[in-house]
Structure 1
C-alpha cells in the first residue's frame, strides 16, 4: 500500500478475467493502492458485466489518489480489439464486440483509456518488474481460467495491431482435438487451462475430496499425493504448453518463457513435465534452451501490466522497464 500522502502519478488499472474483475491505482514503481474487486458475472448479459466493471471504477474514483490519475489501463481476457476499443472474451459470452473503452471513458470523465489483452498486460508487468526483466526476447503466459500470452521482442512489448499478439492459448497443438469455445480444435487453452485440467481429471475417474470443489488446485494437490490420474492431467497440460512455447520459439526466437496465473501455482507438478516436454519439441538450435520460469508478480501482474501497457502506449516514461 502507498503512504497516505502519496501523490502519484498513477495509472488506474483494471484487470478483467473470466472469474474476477480487479482494480487498483498503480504508481511509477509498480506499487498498488486503493484496490477494488468484484466477481465476474460471466454468464450474464453485456450490461450486467459492464456494471461490475463500473463498480470497480467507482471504488477507484472514490480513492484519495484519484486526482493524480493520468490514464486508465484495462487488461482484458481476449480476444480484444485495441484498435476499436472492443472486447469479445471467450469466457464472457455476453460481451461480443462490446465497446468497453467508450463505456469506461464515459465513466472517467474523458481520461485516456488504453485497452490491451490480459496476456499482453501480464507480459508488460513481468518485463517491467518481474521475471522477464532484463530479457529482450520473451514470451509471458497467463495459465488460469483461460490461457493468454504476450511477447517482448527486441526489448519492447509487442501488442500487435489489435492487442492480441502472443495469444498462445489459441494455437492449435492437437489438430483433431476437442472443439474449443473459440471455434478451433485442440487449442492450448482447451488442454492446459485450469477448468480443462480439472475436467480431464474428472473424466479419468479422479474424485475430489468431500467438500472440495473440482479445481485445478485440487487436482494439483492430488498429484502431489501421487494420484496417477491427476498427474496425467497435469502432464497433458504441460505437453500442450510446451508445444505452444516451442512453436513460439521457432517463430520469433525467444529466450525465456514466463508462466503465471493460478495454474502456475501448482509449481513442480506443472513446471517439471513442462520443461521435459519442451526439450522434445524445441529441438532446433535457435529454439532450444528456452528458460521456463514462474512469474514473479503473482495475481497482481494483470493490474501492474495494464498500467505499464497504458503508460507505454501514452509514453508515460516513468512506467517503462529499466
Structure 2
C-alpha cells in the first residue's frame, strides 16, 4: 500500500503484535521508537501445536488468542492507553485487511477472515493488520534509498518488494508469496503446509531444511555419524533441531553445510527470477533460521547464485546484492509501528492492512 506521511506524535503509543506460525509476540512501542517494550512471547495456538484440529477450529483459536493478548496490552501498568493496534500476520491479505490464507497458522482451506474488522470490533481502537513481510519492509524503508526485496526464512518463506514508498502487491493481496512458487513439479514433491507440493517454502524454509537434514541423516548414517549433528541429536536423525543445524553450519560442518547448500538452490533460483524480471539489486534476508545461520547463509546462497549467474552482472556484483537484515526478531513489531504512524489519518480512526 502507498503511505501518506503524517506528522508523528511523541505521545502516541501503539500495541503491536507479530503473529507467526510458531510464536505470537506482543508489545508496546512509542511512535518513532526503534524498539518495542515489554514484549511477551507465547506459542501460537495454531497448526504447530494442534495438527489434528480442523483449519476452521485452528482459525478460531488463533483469533481468540490474538484478541486476548492484544487486549491485555491496551492499557499500560502506568495507565497509558494505546492509540492504536498494529498486527503483522503470516499470510496473504487483501488491502482492506482480510486474510486469504494462513498456511503456517491453520494449514488447509478456510474461509477468508476479515481480521481487521474483527479486531476493531473486539478491541474498540483503530487497528491496522498487514502481511508480516509487508510490515517488516517498513522497518527498512527509510534506510534503503533504492528498491529492495525483503525475504524471510523462518517456518515459511515470504517476500516483498518495496519501491517508491510502497510495497508491490495488488489490492486483492496477490504478490509477495514467493514461498508458494512451485519449484519442483514432481507429483511426489515435498508437501507444503498450504496443501500444495514442491513449493519453495517446503524446501528452503527453516522447517524445510530441518526435514531435509533429518532425511539426509537417515539416508547416510555414516556421514551423519561424522557430523556434529549426530552428537547434538544423540545419534537419532529425528532429534536434529534447527538450532543444531544452524550451529553446525556456522561451524562449517561438512554434512550440515551440504544439506543447506542443496536447499538453497531453489532459493537462489527465486532470487534470480526476481532480479531478471524486475531488476531489483538489493535483497535483505530476515527470519529466525536465516539469522541463526548468520553470514554463512548469504555466503552459501551467494555461491549458488553466482553458479546460476544473473544476466548482466559479475560475481562480485551478484554477491553484493545479498545481505542479512538486523540480527533480531523485531522486524515486524518495529515495521508495523512505523506503518501505523504513517498510515493512520488520526489516532481515533480505524484502518486496514495489506
TM-score (norm 1): 0.84
The structure with more strand, counted as a fraction of residues:
1
Cα separation, 2, equivalents of 1:70 and 1:113: 9
Distance 1:229 1:103 in 2: 48
Residue correspondence of structure 1 range 1-322 to structure 2 within 5 A: 8-26=11-29, 27-42=31-46, 43=50, 45=57, 46-64=59-77, 67=80, 69-93=82-106, 96-109=111-124, 111-128=125-142, 133-163=143-173, 165-176=175-186, 177-205=189-217, 206=224, 207=230, 208-210=232-234, 213-264=239-290, 265-285=292-312, 289=318, 291-296=321-326, 298-314=328-344
Q: Distance in 1 between matches of 2:152 and 2:250?
A: 22
Return 5+ residue gaps in structure 2 as ranges. 1-8, 218-223, 225-229, 347-354
Q: Residue 339 of structure 2 aligns to a residue in which SS?
A: helix
| Residue 30 (structure 1) shift | 3.1
Report how far residue 135 of structure 1 moved: 2.9
1:204 Cα deviation after fit: 0.7
Preserved contact between residue 249 and residue 282 of structure 1 (Cα < 8 Å): no
Larger radius of gyration: 2
Structure 2 SS opposite 1:35: strand
Aligned equivalents of 2:173, 2:77: Cα separation in 1: 31
**How far apart are the structure 2 equivalents of 1:58 and 1:183?**
33
Shift in alpha-carbon separation, 1:155–1:54, aligned structure 2, 3 A: closer
Aligned positions, number: 306
Asked if the contact 1:191–1:197 (Cα under 8 Å) also holds between the matched residues in 2, the reply is: yes
- 1:170-202 per-position Cα deviation (integer Å, ceiling 9, x unaligned): 222333342323344322211111111111111
Secondary structure of 2:302's partner? helix
Deviation of 1:101 (Å): 1.6
Report the Cα distance in structure 1 between the residues aligned to 2:67 and 2:270, rounded to whole angstroms: 35
The CA RMSD over aligned residues, in Å, is 2.8
Relative to structure 1, the CA distance from residue 86 to residue 283 in structure 2 (aligned partners, 3 Å threshold; closer, same or farther) is closer
Query: Is the 2:14–2:337 Cα contact (8 Å) retained in structure 1?
Result: yes
Alpha-carbon distance between aligned partners in 2 of 1:278 and 1:151, rounded to the nearest angstrom: 19
8 Å CA contact retained: 2:157, 2:205? yes
Contact 1:89–1:96 under 8 Å retained in 2: no
Can you list the C-alpha shifts for 1:25-76, whole angstroms capped at 9, x where unaligned?
Answer: 2222333124233210112523222222122202211315775533322111
Gaps of 5+ in 1: 1-5, 317-322
Change (3 A) 1:140 1:84: closer
Deviates more, 1:258-267 or 1:63-72: 63-72
Post-superposition shift, 1:219? 1.2
